Structure 1
């Protein structure tokens, strides 16, 4: 068994699998293991401690060594986090003072002085050419010696590690959860699902696979095994073909199809033929991806298999040799004629599309009769739509009134904000629709009994999509809100370049209540009211870290927007490693610039953009600080991205997300108010359905647990 798969279990489920070995007295070793875990913010659950205590000390040590490496990577403690200013956050100089010091240092070196002189003749001072700038002036050991030890606080993070089953059982559980998830997974989870689909091919399979991208991954394994495919549309076959060519299963970017084995070609064509033979109308879906079908036809050679004439029809439609009106074209024709009632009647055959077209239909209705036809169509068919679509539309309705700006984010996390210029919809109509959707969601949740919800999870947004959300520790879906409990907020970035010199810059925008600029912290402004920057590092062949700390009692800004800029070199998808996170400390805790026990979240940095916006910190109406997840990025420039240059776009995105109303766990709790038991640490004798930020210790066997890692499975189909 690959230890990478064991790491997957610990990282995703916070469960240690396969804890086995000879019996013995492992109490002392287990206590030592627990103590070391606590130094990085983790702790053994009672059940896991009990199992380890009954093993021989050597077996406990084996588990400890392997598990410690995993949790240290999970929280970012597997690397040494140095800071340019050795005493950070103390003794950070003024920016001009620091630059002057670097310049004076350079003038004492003959070669450096000559380079400075050449630049000054052209009216330039190149900071990157100064020997003292951007390079650590001390090693990690010297930095550690300059800091007092961290003082423990009851508010330090403690994350429980639980006892898992066998490795096979745990991996099967992850596979079933990912494959059966009702919301699209992000790239990292899709890669995990693809690996586990092969590993778990002979394990129990999910009862249904609602997301078609996930279905294509399962079908890849089924195709190789010669089993019947799950695909039931021609587009499903196209997704599978893209996957076989290591292309984009979402079909948003073109795939360069490669040569396929004869067995794969036969499997794809046979499945395609069966789909079209059963429902010829599905040929109407071909036009949406006409060019991709043409390219795929060159690889499948359908002319070599005349017995599959229905499959050949797909490529005939793609080439324009055969006409096949799509459902969308029929809908557009009705709307062009102003026949909203007719469009609503047609859309009864596609409940999901009906809901996604709801706003447009209501804006175009023009009469009470047409509006009533739309509402009746929704009422009659909402039970056939997917829960994800229902919840997405429900969230949309919450943001249909009193909103001046709209935010759009694609699957890559690229965000943009536009003014809301849509015609209004009657408030009574919106209220009726909310009631219809709420009733349907409540009906689908009726199977949840003995539902226990931790109040701390109430403001976590329902993960209607996993796209653009990175893995890590404490990472929440876009729109989720968390309390910020601590006097000092410190966020950090770590990166290690792969092949080219790479400079990431950690910055922060400080915005007022109108999200106008109050100031910023970056390498160009090391100190700002209430905040300090740890100093600029311009290369990371062995890894580098930058920090920003803010004393929240002294910050006058309404919002703080951390920002990661690629100044030069490799992007987030190209470096060997990069991640972002934030820590919270009380005023007297001291400690090193990076202390794993104080880390509240650590998020992997990935994406094609050159500017990343992980989250925003803002003051609530109560005056308390909150964090709201953004998971957004800006395209940026190929080089020299800086917080001063993208402040307008970043501020607009942050405000749009803060102002937007997201559906949260609290929404579901309100629907099921009579069935919900608030969790306050009490014990239960019978199995429960628990929803919280983490799995608590001591839940009865047979309990279902939903945490941010699998919250998407709480959403019913």
Structure 2
């Protein structure tokens, strides 16, 4: 996303180094290592009391101190402890959203939410139409209590409406100016106490570890940077922010930290742009740029990023001037490429490249960089003449078989057009020969190739040596050379192709996660062909996993089957819990769900009305109701809205809430609740000063406890980008699960409401729910089993009740057979893995011990200490399977 002064995520708002390491490693760093991290023999009473108070504050936010961190805090003097504690709590509050005012429209929500939304609305309309300052109240008839409110100037009767409960204009719901007499200062200062101390700790509970001193912090930042640079796929926006934070700890004049290759193309662009921010470092950084940039698109991404645009090329800004030394270096990179491939890359982003070429001046340097000039000339279809440039282009074209300079213009035959022509002519053999040059593209077109080779035209394809066997043979050759995300995507999609009649879901490339859903009109593939192709792809995953370091034992949580392996991360929301899109988590019995939304206007946005809403559907996706600003209550207390704010001025902003009682909703015939955030007056989220939403899973019924309880926040995510409507999750009321969708909805016009968009929300909810339940996306639990089977002799599966099923690879049992057996009743009578021998653990919660240095993934890290084990993210479980990656 382009950084702008009004964006909610400018460089200045990016979380700092300490906050990034706290979120990623659960580590707290202190300015010094007092006493080497050892508490004094007799710590003072004040020191112990101070740490105890800090721990109490952390518990109220869902965090605990480890023994090591507690021992490191005790020796601090009062000033140092206070400073460290305040900084820690501030970082946590910001991550949870607890650093903002969350007073709802009705202060005593949900108890004081009106039972009749229409009656409440009509009272406001009558007041607007009929109320006069010198006449009795049109609603109650009382005199002397009519006052205009600021800034809206609506005339309000203080007898009918009380500022002790309503904290905005009761007519237009606009935030009132500070000091407005209608507001009750005592009510504003009143804080609803938390309920009993028996509240459960959140599922995302984290036990904070002592990371060490500032030197240790720098070392850990280097480790995190190395991990991000090794990722092959596009980073999420949060990871991209953290990448820049970690880069700021490095030196541009000493590049020993920079790897020989950066496989992630967008990551590479951000790193190269960071290197080039200081011209004084060009003698060191320009050679590194020339070494790492190895495609024409790399050069374009770099230029876009330097100009303030997005490395994903979702929006191309006006290009800034390119300094002469950099221009020479980039032209040298282009000149070293195959002009045919360079021209093909340029055509993918032709408009952007035509503008970029104006900054590089390739024709002025055609004598020194003729191949670069030829590629740009082919993009522009430059007219040839008798001039010196034309002569140089003709000379350069002699070394490029695909170049054609026999006519009046420069042309290079397009690889993609030849592929399309071969597929259109059903010439599978020709298509395979072309796609062999780009194995990733072969896997993306695998379904099409198999339909041609094994469908109605199978005999014709086989006659040209392009039958299903040829496609599968080409797949075997291509699979070892593709990115792991492409491999898993093809595997998930292909294994659902035995049947037809379902919807297809596309996630178009762009700045937001939009889902495009259409009927699947493709003919199904034969089961035999699907099984053979899936076996090839699964075998490749197992082969890559087996190339990593072997271990004695591994543990896999069965609960990970509901978590989806990450995909399309570049559009993922910045969130408290990094939950891959499509994942499903359980809402424990006896607990209720409270949704929340907070936003604050900026000068750019002006007055903005965001609306938190829930559309309610039956099992067959027929709409049965809603809970939003037009219906504050659904079936009594089954769903309750906190009231509609229509403005959110700084510095407080505004917050809205919805309580969902899943048992009551189920009794009312509701199966699915699709949550949405809609910009009523069509303001883009990115124009706001800030906007975020989330969900709490609460123990307390009704109005008991704080309205916003940081301890009970399970997820908090930012609303960003040009979208006006976000659909964060769908709740399966009967199954008591929440499925994380993290998508946006295309909307047009103004006056957006869940009523207006309910049909689109039904299509979206149904399509995505069916997609993720179908197996078309590989589950993290499956991936964990494959990794464990390929690397461990013994694998234990932990079930929901905590019991273990144990499997040991048998003599003569292949890895594929072992992986297929894990999770079945065919277990082995072997002891449970000892913690000291458990080298791999894939867990929903990091509450099992593992060997020192073990690789551990946990969706909720809990007590994992990144200093003791190697804590992997979900994205790293995928990226560490990159082709050609050395063993761990």
TM-score, normalised via structure 2 length: 0.74
Find the residue that maps to 1:110 and give its secondary structure.
coil
Contact 1:13 1:709 in 2 (8 A): no
**Correspondence for 2:840:** none
Contact 1:479 1:628 in 2 (8 A): yes
Cα 1:573/1:169, change in 2 over 3 Å: same
Cα 1:697/1:190, change in 2 over 3 Å: closer
Cα 1:695/1:715, change in 2 over 3 Å: farther
Contact 1:457 1:692 in 2 (8 A): no
**Correspondence for 1:245:** 307
**Correspondence for 1:256:** 318
**1:400-439, Cα deviation, whole Å (9 max, x unpaired):** 3445111222331122211111122111111111111111
Matched, 1:156 2:201: yes
Find the residue that maps to 1:34 and give its secondary structure.
helix
Counterpart of 2:506 (choices 383, 393, 408) is 408
User: Which region of structure 1 is more displaced relative to structure 2, 514-523 or 267-276?
Assistant: 267-276
What is the CA-CA distance between 1:552 and the residue it aligns to? Answer: 1.3
What is the CA-CA distance between 1:607 and the residue it aligns to? Answer: 2.4
Counterpart of 1:268 (choices 311, 319, 330) is 330
**Correspondence for 2:399:** none
**1:366-395, Cα deviation, whole Å (9 max, x unpaired):** 226311111110012211111111011112
Alignment of 1:159-238 (within 5 A): 159-165=206-212, 166-197=216-247, 199-200=249-250, 201=252, 202=255, 204-206=257-259, 208-222=261-275, 224=282, 225-228=285-288, 229=290, 230-238=292-300
**1:283-303, Cα deviation, whole Å (9 max, x unpaired):** 333332333222222111223
**Correspondence for 1:123:** none
Counterpart of 1:671 (choices 767, 786, 796) is 786
Contact 2:561 2:781 in 1 (8 A): yes
Contact 1:182 1:712 in 2 (8 A): no
**Correspondence for 1:36:** 57
Counterpart of 1:494 (choices 598, 616, 620) is 598
Find the residue that maps to 1:600 and give its secondary structure.
strand
Cα 1:652/1:471, change in 2 over 3 Å: same
Matched, 1:102 2:215: no
What is the CA-CA distance between 1:535 and the residue it aligns to? Answer: 0.5
What is the CA-CA distance between 1:195 and the residue it aligns to? Answer: 4.9
What is the CA-CA distance between 1:32 and the residue it aligns to? Answer: 1.9
Matched, 1:540 2:648: yes
Matched, 1:647 2:744: no
Find the residue that maps to 1:656 and give its secondary structure.
helix
User: Quick one: distance in 2 between partners of 1:128 and 1:671?
Assistant: 65
Find the residue that maps to 1:70 and give its secondary structure.
helix
What is the CA-CA distance between 1:280 and the residue it aligns to? Answer: 5.4
Cα 1:715/1:16, change in 2 over 3 Å: farther
User: Which region of structure 1 is more displaced relative to structure 2, 389-398 or 340-349?
Assistant: 340-349
Cα 1:598/1:700, change in 2 over 3 Å: closer
**Correspondence for 1:432:** 532
Find the residue that maps to 1:555 and give its secondary structure.
helix
**1:199-229, Cα deviation, whole Å (9 max, x unpaired):** 4344623464222111222233455422233
Find the residue that maps to 2:665 and give its secondary structure.
coil
Cα 1:628/1:352, change in 2 over 3 Å: same
Contact 1:48 1:162 in 2 (8 A): yes
User: Quick one: distance in 1 between partners of 2:315 and 2:864?
Assistant: 47
User: Quick one: distance in 2 between partners of 1:56 and 1:698?
Assistant: 28
Any gaps of 5 or more consecutive residues in structure 2? 1-11, 140-151, 156-168, 176-181, 277-281, 383-409, 803-846, 884-888
Contact 2:563 2:580 in 1 (8 A): yes
Cα 1:452/1:62, change in 2 over 3 Å: farther
What is the CA-CA distance between 1:315 and the residue it aligns to? Answer: 1.5
Q: Radius of gyration: which is bigger?
A: 2
**Correspondence for 1:298:** 358
Contact 1:684 1:699 in 2 (8 A): no
User: Which region of structure 1 is more displaced relative to structure 2, 280-289 or 627-636?
Assistant: 280-289
Matched, 1:610 2:707: no
Counterpart of 2:616 (choices 490, 510, 522) is 510
**Correspondence for 1:121:** none
Matched, 1:50 2:52: no
What is the CA-CA distance between 1:58 and the residue it aligns to? Answer: 3.4
What is the CA-CA distance between 1:54 and the residue it aligns to? Answer: 4.1
Cα 1:710/1:288, change in 2 over 3 Å: closer
Find the residue that maps to 2:860 and give its secondary structure.
coil
Cα 1:30/1:511, change in 2 over 3 Å: same
Cα 1:234/1:139, change in 2 over 3 Å: farther
User: Quick one: distance in 2 between partners of 1:650 and 1:294?
Assistant: 40
Find the residue that maps to 2:493 and give its secondary structure.
helix
Matched, 1:584 2:697: yes
Cα 1:108/1:19, change in 2 over 3 Å: farther
Contact 1:493 1:506 in 2 (8 A): yes
Contact 1:688 1:700 in 2 (8 A): no
User: Quick one: distance in 1 between partners of 2:223 and 2:174?
Assistant: 46
What is the CA-CA distance between 1:461 and the residue it aligns to? Answer: 1.3
Contact 2:682 2:752 in 1 (8 A): no
Any gaps of 5 or more consecutive residues in structure 1? 118-126
Contact 1:21 1:56 in 2 (8 A): no
Matched, 1:60 2:81: yes
Contact 2:732 2:738 in 1 (8 A): yes
What is the CA-CA distance between 1:255 and the residue it aligns to? Answer: 3.5
User: Quick one: distance in 2 between partners of 1:351 and 1:657?
Assistant: 28
| Equivalences, count | 703
What is the CA-CA distance between 1:105 and the residue it aligns to? Answer: 5.2
The two structures, once aligned, show a CA RMSD in angstroms of: 2.9
Cα 1:506/1:226, change in 2 over 3 Å: same
